[in-house]
Structure 1
Amino acid sequence: MAEPVCVISGVGPGTGTALVRRFAAGGYRIAMLARNAGRLSDLAKQVPSAKAYVCDVADQSQVDAAMDLVEREMGAPNALIHNAVGGGWGTFMEIDPAMLNRNFQVNTMGLLYLARRVAPAMVGAGQGAIIVTGNTSAQRGRANFAGFAPTKAAQRILAEAMARDLGPKGVHVAYIVIDAVIDVPWARERFKQKPDDFFITPAAIADEAWHVASQPRSAWSFNVEIRPYAETW
């Protein structure tokens, strides 16, 4: 049998790269989606089972074109991880409304575009996994997150609606709430006084995504929360 295919959006230097490495190690062929062609090309050289597809998931035409290529070159995806994220900070009076709209297009509409492409084949096969990487902004609206939190809350609710629809058809949909600062260079610089235990590692996030994607159907999770042991919550 051919190795299963996993589509991963938002393949950046942190969580996205860790997801690619973890699912490739687990036997998947990886379709990597991101806007940065150079980064994807470099990672494809390091992970032989991964292929690069330049795509802005906020643009449905780009999603359709990329997925046409994925399906033609790799086959129907068995798993989708929507990790692409649009963010920004500011109160509702400070933000540019265009930023809120842009983030909604990436976070929520991107999920819709991708899921609508992969779900029919998964339903036909009676199995599959769609996982979304989220954060605590999906659960609360802090003042300075007015341009971001509404889009992540919408994303989580869309994922829940998908889970209730697709679950009985054999497709597992899950939302991973990452309640932590991810250990990437810009975060280390911003929080330079924080100890190592303050951060969550991309590899640990990828391990949890793998665990969720591999759950037996008798015990599926939907809303999964992960955080460092010392995180206040």
Structure 2
Amino acid sequence: MKRNSAMVIGVGAELGLGAALCRKIAANGYHVIVAGRTQAKLDAVTKHIAGRGESAESFAMDGASEADVMRLFDKAMSPPDDIDVPSLVVYNVGNNRYVPFCDLTQEQMEDFLRSGPVGGFLVGREAARRLAPLGRGTVIFTGASASLRGKPGFAHFAAAKAGLRMVAQSMAREFGPLGLHVAHVVIDGGIDGERLRNARPQAATERGENGLLNVDAIAEAYWQIHLQHPSAWTHEIDLRPFKEPF
């Protein structure tokens, strides 16, 4: 039998959501294409997975580049004889930082939109073109609380995440009836990963035990979405620490 395969776009540090998703998927017997901007970080993730006797490969790319996205899908849809074409695609690209509205530049806004709805559209379009005709597959987009509301100093982030959410909704309504499961995950709270630990080392202490989202727990939720029976699909879920106000 051929090994199942998946791709995760937006993988960075080993202590991050993208890497946790790759580990979770690989642990369930899938070959994982680990895609992101920085080759060294990708290689660290694939090396860890290979060290557990599991299967992964790196693919350096810009998730908002049409040419790069096309290259990724061309590769994934022409796998070796012992690997099947992907049945799971995760778009996990994104960044976040505070910028006062009056200081926000056009370049900054466009950069956030590229990583949000533009990149999500490119990945989603290729997934729909190539997987929907097969009548199967799962595409999951990583959202945030900003997908639902804009806070002061985060107009750029909210615009990007809200736009990505609309791409996911439109895809789900068009391609769900064709057998392609499209889901959007709202991450509401701080993720206990390298980015937050570097930016705010005191965050874990301030929030207390389980006050930040555990990356492996998030990855488990994504995996369960992929496993859902087509008679009971989820399109959108929100994940937050038990003590996070909402």
TM over 0.5: yes
Q: Is 1:21–2:34 an aligned residue pair?
A: no
What value does the CA root-mean-square deviation take over the aligned residues?
1.4
Percent identical pairs in the alignment equals 30
Match of 2:156, SS?
Answer: coil
Cα distance in 1 for partners of 2:123, 2:86 equals 11
Letter in 2 for 1:132: F
Map of 2:58 onto structure 1: 52
Map of 2:241 onto structure 1: 228
Q: Is 1:12–2:21 an aligned residue pair?
A: no
Map of 2:74 onto structure 1: 68
What's the CA shift for 1:84? 1.0
Deviations 1:81-125 (A, max 9, x none): 000113332232121221111111111111111122222332222
Map of 2:115 onto structure 1: 106
Map of 2:129 onto structure 1: 120
What's the CA shift for 1:210? 0.3
Cα distance in 2 for partners of 1:5, 1:223 equals 23
**Larger displacement relative to structure 2 (76-85 or 65-74):** 65-74
Letter in 1 for 2:218: I
Deviations 1:143-163 (A, max 9, x none): 111111111000001100000
Cα distance in 2 for partners of 1:52, 1:90 equals 33
What is the number of residues matched between the two proteins? 233
Normalising to structure 1: TM-score of the pair?
A: 0.95
The partner residue of 2:158 within 149, 173, 190 is 149
What's the CA shift for 1:196? 2.4
Match of 1:51, SS?
Answer: strand
Cα distance in 1 for partners of 2:90, 2:241 equals 22
CA contact (8 A) 1:11 1:32 kept: yes
Q: Is 1:164–2:173 an aligned residue pair?
A: yes
Letter in 2 for 1:184: G
Gaps of 5+ in 1: none
Cα distance in 2 for partners of 1:148, 1:229 equals 24
What's the CA shift for 1:190? 4.7
The partner residue of 2:98 within 67, 80, 89 is 89
CA distance change for structure 1 residues 190 and 134 in 2, over 3 Å: closer, same or farther?
farther
**Larger displacement relative to structure 2 (73-82 or 29-38):** 73-82
Gaps of 5+ in 2: none
CA contact (8 A) 1:137 1:153 kept: yes
What's the CA shift for 1:193? 2.8
Map of 1:194 onto structure 2: 207
Match of 1:162, SS?
Answer: helix
**Larger displacement relative to structure 2 (73-82 or 124-133):** 73-82
Cα distance in 2 for partners of 1:107, 1:23 equals 23
CA contact (8 A) 2:79 2:85 kept: no
The partner residue of 2:145 within 117, 133, 136 is 136
Letter in 2 for 1:53: F
Map of 1:3 onto structure 2: 3
CA contact (8 A) 1:86 1:102 kept: no
Map of 2:41 onto structure 1: 39
Match of 1:218, SS?
Answer: coil
